[in-house]
Amino acid sequence: MAEKNVKDLLRKLVALQKIDAEVYEFKRAIKEQPALLDGIKAKFDKKMTRYQELEARAQELERARKAKELDLKSREQEIVKANADLMALKTNKEYQAKLFEIENKKSDKSILEDAILKFFDDSARLAEDMAKEKVLVDAEEKIYLAEKDKVDAAVKVLLDKVATFESQRNDACQGIDKATLAMYERLVENRHGLAMVPIVNDTCGGCYIKQTAQMLNKLEICDEVVRCETCARILYLENVLS
């Protein structure tokens, strides 16, 4: 390839690399944005988990209380029936046995009433704890959502910048042959957005490996595209392209 054509190609690639470096950094920043919320989200999730645990406990207490209330209702019905049965009994022994049965059922009823009252007391205390915890949850959620709005806004700005640069990129790709462009784009993807680097103090600007005199001579002649033997990036000398 003629020297002039190679220089023109390298200049186009340098211009394209400047755009791609910006795009890569913007995309990297976009990926990093959600991580900025991790700490705040963790605090919110911890508070929410605690509140949900209290909520689950409140539901358990309610279910248990309702079960006891059903048992109480059953005992009350049994007592009513047992009292009615007294009228049909003919012997004193049967009568005394039925009275004893009724007293046992009344004792069971009293135990159930005490248990139900305890459930009400436990539920009331739990409701107080939940109210306090809800205040904390709401505060953490407010902080989290405010920070999320900031992150979402920052991502939108970055996406707009990416769109602008990618529009410029389409123009910058004009005049670069398909094979070279494909090779360059693979390098961008595999080399953290940096496919093309200048020589700095006789070293590759990407991997910082010192280049041989033969390699530097090729770059001076500039009649072919030269790649670093270590990192495979495209190399160039700024003074040759200026």
Q: Is the per-residue pLDDT at 242 higher than 90?
A: no
43's CB contacts (< 8 A; 6+ apart) are 140, 143, 144
Q: Is the per-residue pLDDT at 179 higher than 80?
A: yes
DSSP per-residue string spanning 187-219: HHHHTTT--EEEEETTEETTT-PBPPHHHHHHH
Average pLDDT rounded to a whole number, residues 65-76: 96
Q: pLDDT per residue over 201-224, tens digit each?
A: 999 999 999 999 999 999 999 999
Phi, psi of 227 (to 5 degrees): -120, 145
Q: Which pLDDT belongs to residue 68? A: 96
pTM value surpassing 0.75: no
Q: Which pLDDT belongs to residue 90? A: 86
- The C-alpha atoms of residue 195 and residue 74 are separated, in whole angstroms, by 81
DSSP character for 177? -
Q: Is the per-residue pLDDT at 2 higher than 70?
A: no
Q: Give the long-range contacts of residues 182-185, CB within 8 A, separation 24 or more.
A: 184/13, 184/16, 184/234
- For the chain, the structural domain boundaries read 32-171, 177-241
Strand partners, 198: 236
Q: pLDDT per residue over 30-55, tens digit each?
A: 999 999 899 999 999 999 999 999 99
Q: Kindly report the average pLDDT of the chain as a whole number.
A: 94
- Judge: domain 32-171, CATH 1.10.10.10: no
- The C-alpha atoms of residue 125 and residue 132 are separated, in whole angstroms, by 11
The band of 1, judged by pLDDT with boundaries at 50, 70 and 90, is low
What percentage of the chain reaches a pLDDT higher than 90? 91
- Of 163, 220, 227, the closest CA to residue 191 belongs to 227
C-alpha dihedral sign at 93, 97, 99, 103: positive
Residue 17 buriedness (CB in 10 A; 0-12 / 13-18 / 19+): buried
Q: pLDDT per residue over 14-24, tens digit each?
A: 999 999 999 99
Average pLDDT rounded to a whole number, residues 68-82: 95
